[in-house]
Structure formats: structure tokens, C-alpha cells
């Protein structure tokens, strides 16, 4: 009986995983956004300013839907090829940490915002699309937030976020290029490590 129950739970988990892997990019963003907003509204500790819980929320529910290696490569531009595979992995880890901290700070003021989705323009064979949304604060003007998404083996992953027409990864490119010009790839890595420790 125990074995049968375990097999049933495993098959349910696999079925849920398969359903998530097959969901469209807009459905993925809607699901994650709805889940995060519901958590923000329900969790009293987050509402009272618990930064660790907010960080854990972003890391647990949002970060897994991003391709941080590709984001780091895009942010570094032509300098990406100057980094060794080990440096590339280390840079992606530090950039992920930086973005999670940044996203956590932005989310702390997000509880009463409304997110609207524009119709997705996508052909069945497309593997690279943009999910367009607007976010409106109470009494404020809508701000466009677009997610550049790529279909990978495990499903859709975001590799850039464009807020009000400004690309997140492009926004970091000048800073990254300057750090590499002044002190090489290791210098950029040290800069990111220092930022994440501060």
C-alpha cells in the first residue's frame, strides 16, 4: 500500500511537472505572478519588512524561471568570450544574487499593484517570444514590463526584462564593460561579489 501511494504521489508530481513544462510563456508568467502576488498579500512577515522571507520568495518562486547564464552573457556582450567557463559560471551566480536582491527590493512595494497581460503574438513553432504586460500602482500610470522568453528543454525561461522600454541586461552592460576594461573579468567578478556582500 505504501509503495502504491508513493507511486501515485510520484506520478502526480511528474504530471504536474509535465503540465508546467508544456505551459505557454504567457501562462507561465501569469501563474508565477499570481502566486507571488497572493503570497505578498497573505504573508504578514513580508508585509512587515522581513527581507529574508522576501528574498526566499523571489529565489524560490521566480528565479527558477530565468536563464541567468544567458542574461549574464547578454549583459557582458562581447566580453563574455573573454571569460573562462569557470568565470562564466561564477559571474552568472553573482549576477543572479544581485538581481534577486534588486527584485526583492522592488517587490516590497508591489502588494497593491495590478498586472495586465497583452495578447501573446506567437506561432506554434516559435521558441523566442516577448510576453508583454503592464503594471499599475494605485493611482499611477501603467508601466510596461516585457519578458523576453526562450523555450528550452525544460520549458520557457526569461532571459531579459524590459521595464518602461529599458532592458535589464543592457542596463548593466556599460558597468560590466567598464569593470572589465579597468581590471579584467576577475575585476568584474570581485565587484559583483563586493556588491552582494554589502
Q: What is the pLDDT of residues 20-53, one digit of tens each?
A: 457 899 999 999 988 988 888 888 888 888 888 8
What pLDDT was estimated at residue 9?
37
Does position 84 have pLDDT exceeding 50, yes or no?
Answer: yes
Average pLDDT, the chain: 85
Residue 13 burial (10 A CB sphere; 0-12, 13-18, 19+): exposed
3-state secondary structure at position 126: coil
* DSSP at 23: S
Say which range, 21-25, 47-51, 126-130, 166-170, has the weakest mean pLDDT: 21-25
Does position 6 have pLDDT exceeding 80, yes or no?
Answer: no
Does position 79 have pLDDT exceeding 50, yes or no?
Answer: yes
Say what the pTM is.
0.82
Specify which residues 128 forms β-bridges with: 150
CATH architecture of 21-197: Roll (3.10)
Residue 149 Cα distances to 10, 52, 67, 142, 161, angstroms: 29, 28, 9, 22, 9
What pLDDT was estimated at residue 127?
94
Q: How confident is the model at residue 12 (pLDDT cuts 50, 70, 90)?
A: very low
Amino acid at each position: 500500500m505504501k509503495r502504491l501511494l508513493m507511486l501515485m504521489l510520484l506520478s502526480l508530481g511528474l504530471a504536474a511537472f509535465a503540465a508546467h513544462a508544456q505551459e505557454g510563456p504567457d501562462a507561465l508568467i501569469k501563474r508565477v505572478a499570481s502566486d507571488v502576488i497572493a503570497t505578498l498579500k497573505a504573508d504578514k512577515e513580508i508585509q512587515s519588512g522581513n527581507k529574508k522571507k522576501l528574498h526566499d520568495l523571489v529565489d524560490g518562486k521566480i528565479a527558477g524561471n530565468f536563464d541567468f547564464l544567458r542574461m549574464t552573457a547578454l549583459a557582458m556582450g562581447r566580453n563574455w568570450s573573454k571569460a573562462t567557463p569557470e568565470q562564466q559560471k561564477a559571474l552568472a551566480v553573482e549576477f543572479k544574487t544581485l538581481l534577486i536582491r534588486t527584485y526583492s527590493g522592488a517587490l516590497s512595494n508591489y502588494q497593491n499593484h495590478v498586472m495586465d497581460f497583452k495578447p501573446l503574438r506567437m506561432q506554434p513553432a516559435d521558441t523566442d517570444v516577448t510576453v508583454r504586460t503592464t503594471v499599475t500602482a494605485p493611482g499611477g500610470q501603467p508601466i510596461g514590463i516585457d519578458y523576453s522568453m526562450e523555450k528550452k528543454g525544460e520549458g520557457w525561461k526569461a532571459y531579459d526584462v524590459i521595464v518602461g522600454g529599458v532592458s535589464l541586461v543592457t542596463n548593466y552592460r556599460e558597468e560590466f564593460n567598464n569593470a572589465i576594461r579597468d581590471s579584467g573579468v576577475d575585476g568584474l567578478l570581485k565587484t559583483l561579489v563586493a556588491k552582494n556582500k554589502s
